[in-house]
């Protein structure tokens, strides 16, 4: 029995290291991963995200982008949100890249928090996510907005996208663990 957090801890960018799982082979291939997620009936979009992230599978990443873009368009239309041409593309590309690459924050080493004396507090550079980000001005430039609009409109959208992609990954990993027979 294994939960998604444990499973996630075993993942590397080049496949899953399961050397310390009793009876496990040292490594699971992309094919094993796709097969296991298929057995567990994981939706294609979640599978593509997991394959893009853990198997560095570029075709899967393109597919994941396409699913993600459609998902976000539908979401913002439903919300009657406003955006300009190209901004959802930028949002999707940026958040998907962030979710699938190992761009680790250099200040906290990907932990998301720092230790000033006794108390752990959220890392200010990565805002607790452990990932390296483009700075606010680079992000504003990419989206073609000013800093105020970035703070007010786009940062909340980016945060929401992060949560949603984390959910996608979580669903994929739970399915993977189920398909591998690690949980029931
Ligand atoms: Zn950090």
Q: How far is the CA of 93 from the centre of ligand 1 (A)?
A: 21
Arithmetic mean of pLDDT, 120-125: 82
Q: How far is the CA of 24 from the centre of ligand 1 (A)?
A: 33
By CB neighbour count within 10 A (0-12 exposed, 13-18 middle, 19+ buried), where does 162 fall? middle
Arithmetic mean of pLDDT, 49-64: 91
Terminal CA-CA length for the chain: 7
Pick 119 or 56 by higher pLDDT: 56
Q: How far is the CA of 155 from the centre of ligand 1 (A)?
A: 17
Rounded CA-CA distance 72/126 in Å is 23
Q: How far is the CA of 42 from the centre of ligand 1 (A)?
A: 31
Rounded CA-CA distance 107/113 in Å is 9
Rounded CA-CA distance 9/7 in Å is 5
Q: How far is the CA of 122 from the centre of ligand 1 (A)?
A: 8
By CB neighbour count within 10 A (0-12 exposed, 13-18 middle, 19+ buried), where does 36 fall? buried
Arithmetic mean of pLDDT, 85-110: 88
The pTM score is 0.77
Query: What is the Cβ-side half-sphere exposure of residue 155, based on CA atoms within 13 angstroms?
Result: 15
Rounded CA-CA distance 135/82 in Å is 23
Of 55-59, 63-67, 101-105, 142-146, the one with minimum mean pLDDT is 101-105
């Amino acid at each position: 029995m294994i939960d998604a957090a444990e499973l996630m801890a075993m993942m590397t960018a080049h496949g899953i290291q399961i050397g310390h799982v009793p009876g496990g082979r040292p490594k699971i291939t992309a094919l094993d991963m796709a097969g296991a997620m298929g057995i567990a009936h994981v939706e294609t979009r979640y599978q593509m995200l997991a394959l893009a992230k853990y198997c560095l599978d570029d075709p899967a990443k393109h597919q994941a982008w396409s699913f993600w873009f459609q998902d976000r368009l539908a979401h913002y239309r439903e919300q009657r949100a406003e955006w300009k041409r190209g901004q959802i593309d930028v949002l999707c590309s940026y958040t998907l890249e962030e979710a699938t690459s190992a761009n680790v924050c250099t200040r906290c080493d990907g932990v998301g928090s720092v230790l000033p004396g006794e108390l752990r507090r959220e890392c200010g550079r990565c805002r607790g996510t452990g990932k390296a980000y483009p700075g606010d001005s680079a992000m504003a430039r990419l989206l073609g907005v000013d800093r105020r609009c970035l703070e007010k409109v786009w940062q909340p959208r980016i945060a929401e996208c992060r949560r949603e992609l984390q959910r996608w990954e979580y669903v994929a990993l739970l399915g993977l663990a189920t398909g591998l027979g690690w949980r029931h």
